[in-house]
Amino acid sequence: MPMTNRKGSQYKGMSVAIVTPLKDDQLDVPRLREQVEFQIAAGTVCLVPVGTTGESPTLSHEEHERVISEVVQIAAGRIKVMAGTGSNSTAEALRLTRWAAKEGADASLQVAPYYNKPTQEGFYQHFKAIAEDVGLPICVYNIPGRTGKNIEPETIARLAEIPNITMVKEATGSLDQCSQVLNTTDLTVLSGDDSLTLPMMSVGAEGVISVAGNIVPGDLIKLVSAALRGDYASACQIHHRLFPLCRDMLGLATNPIPVKAAMKLLGRDTGELRLPMTPLDEKQLLQLTKTLQAYGLL
């Protein structure tokens, strides 16, 4: 299986699903600017605003659009921007994707329609409608733990025939599904789970859209770079160092509760969340603090 010549290879490497900073329940634009500059300085390949980590489900449409616009403007061509513009309503996903294209985003992250659990044909028609309407490269985001339904590999193979569907953010937790997508398509696969990045790259994935990259982008970049050049001994060492941190980011509570708590402890965010997201309890916060201390961050 060739590692080169995949449709979305310009997005290989370490991308970061950035948080949406809030202050007094409003978008904190100065802090957002800091987050973008922090990632650019780290050498991150691409910013992914208003995804799961960016609390897109609780942002108003106006806020969602504004985050995309602000990130594109702050990035100013120095780093790629893949805007989260998916929805369980095809019309809403189209509206957001058109907005991202108009504002100058480089690509679009399209989560599988959630809650209404379409058929496989429904998934196909949904992504096809968006791809044919907007010329941006599209990354199909498959996360059945959130959406309630898997986009089957056969459906992804059909979608791969559409020219501007170029990537899959693979968050099924299944190495077999990852392998099947790589076997049957020319799509670039990006891990949607930090702790599975190395295993997925060992079968041909080309990077990650990371949560832990909000905190330690440099270490994630080292991991992905080592795996891309085939240095699995080094990558494995970095993986095991990162593992407790990655585990806590997605295991202590629902993303982005732990990562926002970590960023607050590190002085990089207010930690503010929107209901129904609530902060870590005392026991969880103690566990997170210990993990950050063990990593050498606190």
Query: Which residues are the active-site residues?
Result: 141, 169
Cα–Cα distances in Å, from 190 out to 102, 204, 218?
25, 9, 18
3-state secondary structure at position 185: coil
Residues in CB range of 282: below 8 A, 6 or more apart? none
Give CA–CA dist 172/177, Å, rounded. Answer: 8
Closest CA to 175 of 159, 155, 198, 158: 198
In the chain, at which residue ranges do the beta strands (DSSP E only) sit? 13-17, 22-23, 26-27, 46-48, 80-84, 107-111, 138-142, 165-170, 188-191, 207-210
Length of the chain in terms of residues written: 298
